[in-house]
Amino acid sequence: MGLALTPPTPAPCPRAEAERLRGEHRETQSALTKLEDKERELKETLAKDFGALRQFEPLQGECFDVTQGEWIYSVCPYADSKQKGKHGGGSTDLGRWEGWADDYTAMEFKNGQACWNGPIRSIKVQVRCGGESKLLKVDEPEVCKYVADFETPGACTAEDARLAQLEVESCAADIEE
């Protein structure tokens, strides 16, 4: 009596297995890179100065425009500020975000495009309490030195809220009379 031999089970093709593993590695590496990018982005966001109560955080990633005459001015808190022609063409860099000034009552943008006849452009944006975030106006009091007025709820204080409540109560009393 002889022993019956079973043929060996064929091993998977080493090439196909290696390709499958390389594919899994690429996918895992891609997912890891995305997570690392998200972590870096979140750390950068946490490190930004959004005010003591983080009240200015909603301004991040937003841009606010105002049209004056032939120009459209754009202020993007935490990024940059630009001036564009109303009828197209390129834009002029008025400055990149430098940070808050004057106890969160002003945003500063510096190191914009150089003027042909003067200094490097910059803009200081005065910030005050308002019901919605909006750029009100831009002026150029000195050559290539711009100033702007901006309203946002983030600039409102408890005193602003108290005064608004008094105003509402006063208007309500006038209506009742």
pLDDT tens sequence across 133-153: 999 999 999 999 999 999 999
In a domain, 80, yes or no: yes
Supply the pLDDT for residue 10.
Answer: 61
Do 39 and 89 lie in one domain? The reply is no
Q: How do residues 81-95 score in pLDDT, each as one tens digit?
A: 999 998 887 899 999
Comparing 75-79, 111-115, 144-148, 159-163, which segment has the lowest mean pLDDT? 159-163
Residue 3 has pLDDT above 70, yes or no: no
Domains contained in the chain, number: 2
Average model confidence (pLDDT) across the chain = 88
Residue 1 has pLDDT above 60, yes or no: no
Summarize the confidence of residues 159-171 as an average pLDDT. 82
Residue 7 has pLDDT above 70, yes or no: no
Do 78 and 31 lie in one domain? The reply is no
Cβ–Cβ < 8 Å for 129, 156: yes
Summarize the confidence of residues 40-64 as an average pLDDT. 87
In a domain, 153, yes or no: yes
In a domain, 25, yes or no: yes
Do 108 and 80 lie in one domain? The reply is yes
In this prediction, what percent of the chain has a pLDDT beyond 90?
50
Do 96 and 147 lie in one domain? The reply is yes
In a domain, 111, yes or no: yes
Summarize the confidence of residues 25-49 as an average pLDDT. 85
Do 149 and 65 lie in one domain? The reply is yes
Do 61 and 36 lie in one domain? The reply is no
Residue 13 has pLDDT above 80, yes or no: no
In a domain, 3, yes or no: no
Task: Write out the residue range of the structural domain in which residue 18 sits.
Answer: 14-47
In a domain, 169, yes or no: no
Predicted TM-score (pTM) of the model is 0.73
Supply the pLDDT for residue 32.
Answer: 86
Do 43 and 61 lie in one domain? The reply is no
In angstroms, the CA 151 to CA 134 distance is 5
- Which CATH number goes with the domain that contains 87? 2.70.130.10
Do 135 and 87 lie in one domain? The reply is yes
In a domain, 104, yes or no: yes
Summarize the confidence of residues 86-112 as an average pLDDT. 93
In a domain, 9, yes or no: no
